[in-house]
Amino acid sequence: MSNDQTLVQVYGVSVERIYAVESSAFPSYEKIKNLPNKILLWCGTRSSNLLRHLYKGFLPAVCHLPVPGYMFGKAIVCSDAAAEAARYRFTAVDRPEGYLVLAVASLGEEIKEVTGTPGAEEARVLEEKKMGVKGVGRKTPDEWEHITWRDGVTVPCGKLVPSANKDGPLEYNEYAVYDPKQMSICFLVGVKYEEQNMEVNQEGGCRLYTGALRAQDVMTGGLVHDEFMVQETWLPHAWLVILVLVCFCF
């Protein structure tokens, strides 16, 4: 390494397991596939809450306190960046293993874009109209790299790039859905943080030394309950999950 380069430590993620999910607690994909403006989003939750979500589905935030979900009122809040979802589930390097949820959400006929922090009255109106809301972050997945999945579902994969909202309160894009019937949990992704070394030069360029994303031991198996089923999925679905995990980079 030359004198004009610095070795810094960053954090990546590896895929440990990928589960396909079916549950009677939320609409099946078949029930929402014809709804408008569908997008595949990351949802973060503590591991201790996973069974509750699988049993009851995602519920809107029930209070206006400074906790995840409060900015948009009583909403289910997800993101198109896995890094943001990881914050919601409080994963960190000293707690490297956890789960992230991938869900298909319909944002409805009309999408409200928010670049600042909504006031209490604006949040109330959004709740009443049950509009799909996109909070624009300072970083966003490169739209040129987005792909369209089955039935017109937008998959916001690609590297994170600066957005036009450079002074906004959100680091990453967040989406608020007010009606649980507009969301269907599709995948449960077991992930593990990995330390990586990155070489940064004075011009701002960088080169990653280690820590490529990988899918490990994607095989059959699963958990069956009266109300939901979690099934480890085969590689035909794994490629999609790994592709959108590119958005995990900070």
User: Residue 65: what pLDDT?
Assistant: 38
Q: Which of 30, 97, 174, 203 is catalytic?
A: 174
DSSP string, 195-214: EEEEEEETTS-EEE-S----
Burial of 85 (0-12, 13-18, 19+ CB in 10 A): buried
Residue at 67: amino acid letter:
V
Q: Which residue has the tokens 């077991």?
A: 190
* Per-residue confidence (pLDDT) for residue 194, from 0 to 100: 67
How many residues are recorded in the chain? Answer: 250
H/E element holding 239? helix 235-244
CB 247 within 8 A of CB 83: yes
- Report how far residue 161's alpha carbon sits from residue 138's, in angstroms, rounded to the nearest whole number: 9
Q: Which residues pair with 113 in a beta bridge?
A: 134
Residue 78: partners with Cβ closer than 8 Å, 6 or more residues away: 41, 42, 43, 85, 103, 105, 174, 175, 177
Mean pLDDT by runs of 10 across the 250 residues of the chain is 49 74 83 92 78 75 47 85 72 68 90 86 81 91 86 86 92 91 87 60 38 28 37 46 45
- What is the separation of C-alpha 46 from the centre of its chain, rounded to a whole number of angstroms? 14
pLDDT at 185: 87
Instruction: Enter the pTM of the model.
Output: 0.74
| Residue 158 · residue 142 · CB < 8 Å | yes
**CATH T-level fold of 5-248:** Phosphoenolpyruvate Carboxykinase; domain 3 (3.90.228)
- Per-residue pLDDT reduced to its tens digit, 146-196: 888 889 999 888 788 999 999 999 999 999 998 889 999 888 888 777 665
Q: For position 72, what pLDDT does the model report?
A: 83
Q: Using CA atoms, how far apart are residues 208 and 12, in angstroms rounded to an integer?
A: 10
The DSSP letter of residue 27 is: -
Tell me whether residue 174 is one of the annotated catalytic residues.
yes
Between CA 134 and CA 176 the distance in angstroms is: 7
| pLDDT given at position 231 | 46
Q: Could you tell me if 47 and 146 are in contact, meaning their C-beta atoms sit under 8 angstroms apart?
A: no
Give the span between the Cα atoms of 85 and 77, in whole angstroms: 9
Cβ(81)–Cβ(75) below 8 Å? no
| Residue 104: predicted pLDDT | 92
Look up residue 212 and give its two tokens.
Answer: 């490529």
